C-alpha cells in the first residue's frame, strides 16, 4: 500500500488533541492499522494504553500483535510497557536473544517474530498516552527505522540519519513523529507562559484547553496565539 499522508496526519492530530478527547481512541486505531499497512518490514502493529491500573491493547492490526502484547501485560514487563512508562522508544533488535523480557520473548518467537519497536505516543498535554508497537518477522529490518525514530524524539539530531535509507512508510511515520514533537514543544511553551504566575503546568494546560474550547480553535492554534500574544 502506498503512503497517503494519513499516518503523518493522524500523528500530528493526536499531538494536538486534549488528553480527555474521545477522538484519541479513533486516532490510535487508525495509527495502528496504517502502520501495519504502510511500513514495509512490519508484520503487525498494535497500540498499548493504560487501563484501570493495568494495560490494554486498544488497537491491533491482527490477533498476533494482541497476543504478544498480552504476554507483556501478564508479566508486567516488555518493550511496549517500557515505551509507555519511560517515554522513550524501546527497540528489540533480536527478540530470541533478549533475556530481559522472557514472557515477551517466548510468545513472540513462537509466533515467528524476530524484531520489534515500541514508540511512545502523546496527546495535547505532552504526557505519553499510548505506545505504538511494531513487530517484524525479518531480523534487522527495523534497525534503520529505529535510528530514525530515536532521532525524531531528539530534534537536535534529526539531521543525522539518512531519510533515503527508509522505505516510504517509514519516512511517513518518522515525519509524523518529528512534526508531533515540534507541536508538543510549542504547546509546552504556551503552557509555561500560562503558568508563569506560579500556578503550575497542570493549571496552565487546563487554561489552554479552556481557551481552545471557548473559541472553538484547536489546541495548537490556541497555543500559537498565546505565544504570539506574549512575545516581548
Q: What is the rounded distance in angstroms from the CA atom of residue 71 to the CA atom of residue 89?
A: 19
Neighbours of 127 (CB within 10 A): 12
Q: For the sheet containing 90-92, what is the strand order?
A: 54-60, 44-51, 128-136, 115-122, 90-92
Query: In the chain, what are the domain boundaries?
Result: 6-182, 186-229
Q: What is the rounded distance in angstroms from the CA atom of residue 95 to the CA atom of residue 213?
A: 45
- What pLDDT score does 2 carry? 53
Average pLDDT (137-158) is 86
Instruction: Kindly report the average pLDDT of the chain as a whole number.
Output: 92
Indicate the pLDDT class of residue 95, thresholds 50, 70 and 90. Answer: very high
Task: Output phi, psi for 36, to 5 deg.
Answer: -65, -35
Average pLDDT (195-206) is 89
- What pLDDT score does 155 carry? 65
The dihedral of CA 152, 59, 127, 12: what is its sign?
positive
Apex CA 8: angle with CA 168 and CA 66, to 5°?
Answer: 85
Three-state DSSP at 76 gives coil
Pick the CATH number of 6-182 from 3.40.50.410, 3.40.50.300, 3.30.450.40, 1.20.200.10: 3.30.450.40
CB distance 149 to 117 below 8 Å: yes
Q: What is the rounded distance in angstroms from the CA atom of residue 23 to the CA atom of residue 53?
A: 22
Amino acid at each position: 500500500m502506498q503512503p497517503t499522508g494519513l499516518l503523518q496526519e493522524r500523528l500530528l492530530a493526536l499531538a494536538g488533541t486534549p488528553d480527555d478527547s474521545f477522538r484519541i481512541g479513533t486516532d490510535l486505531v487508525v495509527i495502528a492499522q496504517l502502520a501495519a499497512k504502510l511500513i514495509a518490514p512490519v508484520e503487525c502493529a498494535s497500540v498499548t494504553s493504560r487501563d484501570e491500573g493495568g494495560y490494554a491493547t486498544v488497537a491491533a492490526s491482527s490477533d498476533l500483535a494482541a497476543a504478544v502484547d498480552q504476554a507483556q501485560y501478564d508479566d508486567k514487563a516488555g518493550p511496549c510497557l517500557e515505551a509507555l512508562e519511560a517515554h522513550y522508544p524501546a527497540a528489540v533488535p533480536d527478540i530470541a536473544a533478549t533475556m530481559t523480557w522472557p514472557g515477551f520473548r517466548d510468545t513472540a518467537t513462537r509466533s515467528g517474530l524476530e524484531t520489534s519497536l515500541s514508540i511512545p505516543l502523546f496527546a495535547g498535554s505532552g504526557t505519553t498516552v499510548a505506545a505504538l508497537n511494531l513487530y517484524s518477522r525479518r531480523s534487522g529490518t527495523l534497525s534503520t527505522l529505529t535510528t530514525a525514530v530515536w532521532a525524531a524524539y531528539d530534534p537536535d539530531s534529526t539531521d543525522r540519519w539518512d531519510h533515503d535509507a527508509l522505505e516510504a512508510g517509514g519516512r511517513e511515520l518518522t515525519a509524523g513523529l518529528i512534526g508531533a514533537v515540534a507541536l508538543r514543544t510549542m504547546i509546552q511553551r504556551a503552557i509555561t507562559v500560562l503558568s508563569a504566575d506560579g500556578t503550575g503546568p497542570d493549571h496552565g494546560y487546563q487554561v489552554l484547553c479552556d481557551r481552545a474550547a471557548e473559541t472553538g480553535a484547536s489546541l495548537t492554534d490556541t497555543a500559537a496565539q498565546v505565544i504570539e500574544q506574549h512575545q516581548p
